[in-house]
């Protein structure tokens, strides 16, 4: 199984008090009903809406109904994190052209995470015939097969772009979630229980989130760097984080309504 960690990193927003101005409030396009579409095969194949799972953990009811326990500014931060994850995966919307542009500058081009996932798959498809030949040739010598396969991958035309992109995505991924890690560590027990419920209700036996919910404090980023090997890994992890946070917001409708009324649905002056 691959990594799943970041989720928890993003979860501990619950008890955080932060600065969030009305000018930075999410647009209507980031309402509770929105989610990142067509970015997860797992989501597409499942009849369960992974961003609409209703948490039943007792802490959720307390958060939803208790004034002051969850700052409205924190609700805004969750919306902003989900929006930023979407920008990473499919690109940021240009308000003038109404088209999305990738966040990652590589050479003279910009790529979204989905663009890089596609290039990664294109490289594998292109090399597949040679890979099959190597498997037949070195069937009983895995080390030699790995060495020859790595030479083919390193020599492919797309490899310089993909190598540069992997560093860009890793840096952005860590930067996006770093601010939440300390809060996750401070409330690990609650995070574990919420992730366990999410995984069970979403029927996600191999969820990345569960792996990182149980990672030792202070080891999350190291585990991330060690486990992530492809753009598909990043795509799957970010998608799960986004869906998990969507379910969290879905489970606290009273708090979300208060936030939307204060920052988004204000009557025009």
Give the 3-state secondary structure of residue 242: helix
**Apex 161 CA angle, 155 and 166, nearest 5:** 110
Whether residue 64 is predicted with pLDDT greater than 80 in this model: the reply is yes
Rounded mean pLDDT, 61-84: 87
Residue 153 lies in a domain: no
Q: Is residue 36 part of a domain?
A: yes
Asked whether residue 129 is assigned to any structural domain, the reply reads no
Return the pLDDT at 232.
92
Phi-psi domain of 199 (left: phi exceeds 0; alpha: psi -120 through 50; beta: other): alpha
Instruction: Tell how far CA 116 is from the center of its chain.
Output: 15
pLDDT value at position 214?
A: 83
Confidence (pLDDT) at 182 = 63
Of 150-154, 166-170, 183-187, 189-193, where does mean pLDDT reach its minimum? Answer: 183-187
**What average pLDDT does this structure show over 88-104?**
93
Least confident interval from 12-21, 45-54, 164-173, 231-240: 12-21
For the ranges 29-33, 68-72, 97-101, 256-260, the lowest mean pLDDT is seen at 29-33
Quote the pTM value.
0.77
User: What value does the mean pLDDT take over residues 124-140?
Assistant: 87
Q: Which domain holds residue 68?
A: 6-104+170-264
CA distance linking residue 148 with residue 144, whole number of Å: 6
Query: Hey, is 144 helix, strand or coil?
Result: helix
Residue 126 clears pLDDT 90, i.e. is over it = yes
pLDDT grade for 142, boundaries at 50, 70 and 90: confident
Confidence check: pLDDT of 256 > 90: yes
Angle formed by the axes of helices 220-227 and 159-186, to 10°? 160
Asked if residue 118 is part of any domain, the answer here is no
Look at residue 257 and tell me whether its pLDDT is greater than 90.
yes
Nearest to 35 by CA among 268, 266, 178, 241: 241
Q: Assess contact for 120 and 112: CB atoms under 8 A.
A: no
43 vs 106, residue with greater confidence: 106
Predicted local distance difference test score (pLDDT) of residue 25 = 43
In a domain, 137, yes or no: no
Band of the pLDDT at 155, cuts 50, 70, 90? very high
Kindly tell me if the per-residue pLDDT of 57 is higher than 50. yes
Q: Are 55 and 246 in contact (CB under 8 A)?
A: no
Average pLDDT, the chain: 79
* Separation of alpha carbons 71 and 18, rounded Å: 8
The residue among 191 and 253 whose pLDDT is bigger is 253
pLDDT at 19: 29
Question: Residue 45, Cβ neighbours under 10 Å: how many?
Answer: 7
Task: Categorize the per-residue pLDDT at 267 as very low, low, confident or very high, splitting at 50, 70 and 90.
Answer: low
Q: Could you give the CA distance from residue 41 to residue 261 in angstroms, rounded to a whole number? A: 34
Q: What is the pLDDT of residue 39?
A: 37
Q: For residues 263 and 73, give the distance between their C-alpha atoms in angstroms, rounded to a whole number.
A: 10
How sure is the predictor about 196, in pLDDT bands with cuts at 50, 70 and 90? very high
- Predicted confidence at residue 220, as pLDDT, reads 78
120 occurs within a structural domain: no
For the chain, what is the largest distance between any 2 Cα atoms, rounded to a whole number of angstroms?
75
Rounded to whole angstroms, the Cα distance separating 117 from 20 reads 33
Looking at residues 58-67, what average pLDDT do you find?
A: 90
pLDDT above 90 covers a percentage of the chain that reads 36
Residue 162 confidence (pLDDT): 92
Residue 135 lies in a domain: no
Q: Is residue 117 part of a domain?
A: no
Asked if the model's pLDDT at residue 11 lies above 70, the reply is: no
**Domain total of the chain:** 1
């Amino acid at each position: 199984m691959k990594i799943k960690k970041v989720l928890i990193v993003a979860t501990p927003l619950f008890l955080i008090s932060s600065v969030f101005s009305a000018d930075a409030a999410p647009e209507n396009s980031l309402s509770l009903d929105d989610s990142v579409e067509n970015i997860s095969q797992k989501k597409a194949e499942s009849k369960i809406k992974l961003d609409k799972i209703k948490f039943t953990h007792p802490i959720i009811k307390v958060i939803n109904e208790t004034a002051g326990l969850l700052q409205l500014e924190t609700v805004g931060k969750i919306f902003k994190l989900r929006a930023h994850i979407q920008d990473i995966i499919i690109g940021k919307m240009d308000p003038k052209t109404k088209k999305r542009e990738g966040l990652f500058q590589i050479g003279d081009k910009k790529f979204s995470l989905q663009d890089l996932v596609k290039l990664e798959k294109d490289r594998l498809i292109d090399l597949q015939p040679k890979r099959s030949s190597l498997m037949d040739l070195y069937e009983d010598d895995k080390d030699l097969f790995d060495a020859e396969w790595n030479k083919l991958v390193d020599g492919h035309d797309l490899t310089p772009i993909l190598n540069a992109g992997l560093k860009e995505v890793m840096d952005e991924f860590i930067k996006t979630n770093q601010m939440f890690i300390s809060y996750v560590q401070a409330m690990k027990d609650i995070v574990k229980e919420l992730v366990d419920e999410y995984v069970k209700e979403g029927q996600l036996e191999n969820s990345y989130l569960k792996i990182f919910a149980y990672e030792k404090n202070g080891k999350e980023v190291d585990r991330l760097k060690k486990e992530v090997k492809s753009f598909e890994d990043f795509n799957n992890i970010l998608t799960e984080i986004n869906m998990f946070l969507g379910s969290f917001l879905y489970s606290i409708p009273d708090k979300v309504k208060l936030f939307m009324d204060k920052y988004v649905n204000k009557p025009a002056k």
